[in-house]
Amino acid sequence: MDATVTVIDPVAALAELAPIGADPVRGGWSRHLLDDADRDMRAWFVRTAGSLGLTVETDANANQWATWAPEGATGPAVATGSHLDSVPGGGPLDGPLGVVSALAAVSRLIAEGHAPARPLMVANFAEEEGARFGVPCLGSQLLAGDIGTERVRRLTDAAGTGYPEVMMAAGYDPTTIGRDAARVAEMALYLELHVEQGCQLAPLGHPVGLATSILAHGRWRLTLTGRGDHAGATELVSRHDPMLVAGEAIRSARGHALGSAPETRSRATVGKLHVVPGGSNAIASEVRLWLDARAEHDADVRDLVARIVSDVEAAGLAEGCTVTVEEESFSTRVAFDQDLTDRVAAALAPGLGDVPRIPTGAGHDAGVLAAHLPTAMIFVRNPDGVSHSPLEGAAEPDIRTGVDALTDALRALTSERGT
């Protein structure tokens, strides 16, 4: 036992984070890349990892890393972690639960005197939600070299501030972002714990589950341009109102997702929509809306989006509006590493029984890394499945069971000698 280290209680740690980025307008939490809230979350990460004696670094892509490499730990590391940013008005657990659980697990391993054969790294990935710059998993994609750095340097946030400006203001050099082969090579594997999104574990009666796959998914920005005019004085037949086209996009997204073959697990959502100029007595001149589409296989998503866009273009033609479509991101279907998942399952306490293996529709940094190294995920039961909402939650015993599971898995994985 190492009595000098305080074991981190995950519930207390989440309570400590609760005031940071609370959103008085939307409810829930808004923590976006390098804004005040995100900086406070990052400071917490540095402080907490530091209190465990870990070495804390930030890479050029604004991802944070805390490394535990006591004497005898050699070779590529076992990596774990998640992200501390949120969607606008999101819940408390996606993804702080993964980071908190990782640090809690490391604190337990230290306290119990575990002597790891490999280093253990805890990651906080930047801009996982893509809420500020529109590209999800931005930090892990940059790290892995999965996104062009020129494209990233052209990204702007809703206020028009460029990614380079935001990075420079926080002390980063935006000319050095991008693929970090050395950092990727340092990781033997990546295991991410995350609150469940969707409701598969509750009906099965299990507090934790293991991920099998992530649906293929992407985001498309549709710009619908009409002609702004007076809502009272303009004859209906003279209108070019992009709101009508937006209404059709919403209807069509649901309709085509519902109409897809059930085995494709297709879903399509319009959750973000901006109206220009946005006056109640003014016909809109432009509507920008974001289409989120997901399905089992890449081709299912492509097909779904093509059908929706075709409807939107027809509606645009009918209304005399132009339609432009820009793909903001596309994430191919992910199958997690079955061997690693089996090893994690084998490490879990026998009392957990036969832990369910479930697919998910949500994207994760683990999904990005899966193309580069063996990757697995542990899900913690979400009683009603709600996520990306202030109503997201997990029971305290389940949160603690999640940390138990992650601790057991990390102990086992770091006991195996690295190559």
Site for its own copies in 119-178 (CB under 8 A): 129-131, 134, 136, 160
The token pair at 86 is 């949120």
Site for its own copies in 50-109 (CB under 8 A): 87-90
Q: Cβ closer to its own copies: 199 or 345?
A: 199
- Strand ranges for 156-266 from DSSP E: 187-195, 208-214, 216-225, 229-230
Residue 225, CB-side half-sphere exposure with 13 Å CA sphere: 5
Amino acid at 156: T
Q: Let me know: does 31 contact 21? Beta carbons within 8 Å.
A: yes
Strands 64-68 and 55-58: antiparallel
* Part of the chain binding its own copies (CB under 8 A), chosen from 51-59, 75-83, 180-188, 214-222: 214-222
In 3-state terms, what secondary structure has residue 416?
Answer: coil
* Part of the chain binding its own copies (CB under 8 A), chosen from 69-77, 174-182, 274-282, 349-357: 274-282
Q: Which of 49, 54, 102, 246 binds its own copies (CB under 8 A)?
A: 246
Q: Which of 80, 107, 197, 375 binds its own copies (CB under 8 A)?
A: 197
Amino acid at 203: P
Binding mask 4-33 for its own copies (x = CB under 8 A): -------------------x-xxxx-x---
* DSSP for residue 382: -
Q: Which of 75, 145, 162, 247 binds its own copies (CB under 8 A)?
A: 247
Q: Which of 156, 269, 332, 415 binds its own copies (CB under 8 A)?
A: 269
Q: Let me know: does 184 contact 331? Beta carbons within 8 Å.
A: no
Q: Which of 39, 153, 179, 227 binds its own copies (CB under 8 A)?
A: 227
Q: In what helix (H) or strand (E) does residue 271 lie, and over which residues does it extend? A: strand 267-276
Q: Which of 75, 198, 320, 356 binds its own copies (CB under 8 A)?
A: 198
In 3-state terms, what secondary structure has residue 318?
Answer: helix
Site for its own copies in 336-375 (CB under 8 A): 360-363
Minimum CB–partner distance for residue 397 and its own copies (Å): 22
Binding mask 318-337 for its own copies (x = CB under 8 A): ----------x---------
Return the ∠ at Cα 111 (arms to 108 and 116), rounded to 5°: 80
Binding mask 277-316 for its own copies (x = CB under 8 A): xxxxxxxxx----x-x-x----------------------
Q: Which of 170, 373, 386, 412 binds its own copies (CB under 8 A)?
A: 386
Q: Cβ closer to its own copies: 191 or 243?
A: 243
Size of interface with its own copies, in residues (CB under 8 A): 77
Could you tell me the sign of the dihedral formed by the alpha carbons of 137, 142, 144, 150, in that order?
A: positive
Which residue's structure tokens are 């903001």? Answer: 328
In 3-state terms, what secondary structure has residue 100?
Answer: helix
